Amino acid sequence: FESKTEKGISWTVVSPIVFTYKVTESRGLLDPSNDTLLLGHITDSQQLEDLKKSTEPIKRFVVIDQEVYKIYGAKLTEYLETNNVLYKILALPTTEENKSMEMVLNIVEEVNSFSLDRRTEPIIAIGGGVCLDIVGLAASLYRRRTPYIRVPTTLLAYIDASIGAKTGVNFANCKNKLGAYIPPVASFLDLSFIKTVPRRHISNGLAEMLKMALMKHRGLFEILEEQGHMLLDTKFQADNSAYGNNCLQTASQATYIAITTMLEELAPNLWEDDLNRLVDFGHLISPALEMKVLPSLLHGEAVNIDMSYMVYVSKESGYLTEEEKQRIINCMVELELPVWHEACTMELIQRSLQDRLKHSGGLVRMPLPMGLGQSIFNETSCEILHRAHEKWCDE
Ligand SMILES: NC(=O)c1ccc[n+]([C@@H]2O[C@H](COP(=O)([O-])OP(=O)(O)OC[C@H]3O[C@@H](n4cnc5c(N)ncnc54)[C@H](O)[C@@H]3O)[C@@H](O)[C@H]2O)c1
Ligand SMILES: [Zn+2]
């Protein structure tokens, strides 16, 4: 709409943008008879029918984590060949240290020479959170917004990095400093990828699951507390003689709760305009910690150290009993996650919370666990932060 002043005319543009995307679980994504990976993102039934009838080959550009390619590359190639796809597979060392603009440019150059139809040929990303974040940003930049599909292959990516809208790379020694809020057209989740994930990376994913449990789901906390070790041993796979026959059911239940609670938080706040974000739990101090000691801590490990400290803050603030605090820390240890780190100093904590401090006059507003499975946005004083840090280090 238009308004006039003495200085001239001013136009105000209001442009509501709606994103619709699907997060779909599908077993056997690389089974040649499963067409989810190629067609699962299409929502228009007429378009889907036309495509299925067409004799034109489908064209797809696939970026895959190099390590994942070593394990699943042959299967992926067979899948694309059998389905008569015109394809290019780009296998890249998508590690945290390589999570940079350079790799984004590398990808868009390859995409450019492959020449995709920007409307109908989504880029497919297959890998852990690092790969999905880099490819998502590359796709969002290429021709201003090329659709992309996420296929998570780690537990962390399965329950977290693949279901929201955020993409990004590290920049100026800061985590995810360059990025966009552009969701994929679809995420396809296949739990069977997790069976080859190294044990330490299963723990890593369990940390993000524990985050959702502590913030809003007591039932999930109890599953992790009682069965977390089993999930770690069985890697979220089918029944195992040592544990009887409920392994897969428990694994599905845990991932289901983690995903639904996460989506509930993300969907109404896709661009994170609202600062009261439960999903920030574990993510206020950890970005600086993770970058400071890179590559020694994995993302989820840094998140867990942050959460562990916050549990002490919560206890000092009167939101957790000593027993609840102990149960949470024990659960973390049982999940084989680190609960303390020498690099997590008071100075680093204060520096990380600086932004939040600046806007709130000495009090830091942040999510804290209150009991097991509930949370509160608390205004914490510096004195409590200090006291909690001292106790945390002592214990
Ligand atoms: N976009 C988001 O909303 C969001 C959310 C959470 C985390 N993240 C980002 O995700 C990243 C962490 O993701 P990650 O933990 O998946 O790490 P990652 O992508 O580095 O993968 C972990 C390791 O596992 C290997 N791997 C992946 N899949 C495998 C498989 N199926 N079998 C064997 N090995 C496999 C990889 O090669 C890598 O060495 C961080 O950079 C973090 O910032 C993003
Ligand atoms: Zn995270």
pLDDT digits (tens, 9 = 90+) for 363-395: 788 999 999 999 999 889 999 999 999 999 999
DSSP strand pairing (59-65 vs 363-369): unpaired
Residue 297 in domain? yes
pLDDT over 90 at 27, yes or no: yes
Query: Which residue has better confidence, 315 or 18?
Result: 315
Is 154 touching ligand 1 by the criterion CB < 6 Å? yes
Q: How does the average pLDDT of the chain come out, rounded?
A: 95
- pLDDT (0 to 100) of residue 172: 95
- From 196, 231, 257, the end of a domain falls on 196
Residues 328 and 251 in one domain: yes
Answer for the pair 388, 395: CB distance below 8 angstroms, yes or no.
Answer: no
Ligand 1 atom closest to Cα of residue 130: 19
Residue 7 in domain? no
Q: Which CATH number covers residue 57?
A: 3.40.50.1970
Mean pLDDT of all residues in 81-90: 97
Residue 46 belongs to domain spanning = 22-196
Structurally, the chain folds into a number of domains equal to 2
> Where does residue 11 rank: exposed (0-12), middle (13-18), buried (19+ CB within 10 A)?
exposed
pLDDT band per the 50, 70, 90 thresholds, residue 361: low
Residue 17 in domain? no
Tokens describing residue 323: 């027993």
Helix (H, G, I), strand (E, B) or coil at 92: strand
Interatomic CA distance for residues 227 and 150, integer angstroms: 28
Residue 3 in domain? no
pLDDT over 80 at 356, yes or no: no
Known catalytic residue at 166: yes
Interatomic CA distance for residues 256 and 262, integer angstroms: 10
Mean pLDDT of all residues in 9-36: 95
Residues 170 and 227 in one domain: no
Residues 283 and 170 in one domain: no
The dihedral of CA 166, 344, 173, 100: what is its sign?
negative
In single-letter form, the type of residue at position 277 comes to: R
Answer for the pair 140, 182: CB distance below 8 angstroms, yes or no.
Answer: yes
pLDDT in tens, 260-308: 999 999 988 888 888 788 999 999 999 999 999 999 999 999 999 999 9
Which are the contacts of 113, defined by CB distance < 8 A and separation ≥ 6? none
Residues 234 and 350 in one domain: yes
Centre of ligand 1 to C-alpha 207, Å, is: 13
pLDDT over 70 at 360, yes or no: no
Interatomic CA distance for residues 153 and 162, integer angstroms: 10
Q: Report which of 110, 106, 126, 124 is spatially closest to residue 64, judged by C-alpha positions.
A: 126
Centre of ligand 2 to C-alpha 208, Å, is: 6
From residue 288, how far is each of 226, 280, 321 by CA, in Å?
A: 32, 14, 29
Residues 212 and 114 in one domain: no
pLDDT over 80 at 359, yes or no: no
- pLDDT (0 to 100) of residue 275: 79
Tokens describing residue 177: 């400093």
Instruction: Tell me the ligand closest to 67's alpha carbon.
Output: 1
Tokens describing residue 391: 């106790």
Residues 301 and 204 in one domain: yes
Residues 29 and 102 in one domain: yes
pLDDT in tens, 124-178: 999 999 999 999 999 999 999 999 999 999 999 999 999 999 999 999 999 999 9
- From 155, 175, 196, the end of a domain falls on 196
pLDDT over 80 at 355, yes or no: no
Of the listed ranges 26-40, 83-97, 339-353, 358-372, the one predicted with least confidence: 358-372
Residue 31 in domain? yes
pLDDT over 90 at 233, yes or no: yes
Q: Report which of 301, 274, 116, 117 is spatially closest to residue 206, judged by C-alpha positions.
A: 301
Residues 111 and 222 in one domain: no
Residue 172 in domain? yes
pLDDT in tens, 173-210: 999 999 999 999 999 999 999 999 999 999 999 999 99
Owner of token pair 């994170």:
272
pTM of the model: 0.95
Taking CA atoms only, the protein residue closest to ligand 1 atom 7 is: 161
- For every residue of 13-72, DSSP letters joined together read ---------EEEE-S-TTSTT--HHHHTT---HHHHHHHHH--SPPEEEEEEEHHHHHHH
Interatomic CA distance for residues 365 and 356, integer angstroms: 7
Centre of ligand 1 to C-alpha 166, Å, is: 14
Interatomic CA distance for residues 330 and 128, integer angstroms: 27
Residue 16 in domain? no
Instruction: Tell me the ligand closest to 283's alpha carbon.
Output: 2
Residues 351 and 207 in one domain: yes
- pLDDT (0 to 100) of residue 242: 82
Tokens describing residue 364: 């830091």
Answer for the pair 61, 80: CB distance below 8 angstroms, yes or no.
Answer: no
In single-letter form, the type of residue at position 302 comes to: A
Residue 4 in domain? no
Work out the number of other CB atoms within 10 angstroms of the CB of residue 288: 21
Residues 29 and 106 in one domain: yes
Is 164 touching ligand 1 by the criterion CB < 6 Å? yes
Residues 52 and 161 in one domain: yes
Answer for the pair 142, 113: CB distance below 8 angstroms, yes or no.
Answer: no
pLDDT over 90 at 358, yes or no: no
Residues 245 and 323 in one domain: yes
The residue from 99, 166, 235, 325 that is catalytic is 166
Q: Which CATH number covers residue 261?
A: 1.20.1090.10
- From 140, 168, 196, the end of a domain falls on 196
Tokens describing residue 287: 């970005």
Percent of the chain clearing pLDDT 70 (strictly above) = 99
Answer for the pair 332, 225: CB distance below 8 angstroms, yes or no.
Answer: no
Mean pLDDT of all residues in 112-123: 92
DSSP strand pairing (8-11 vs 174-181): unpaired
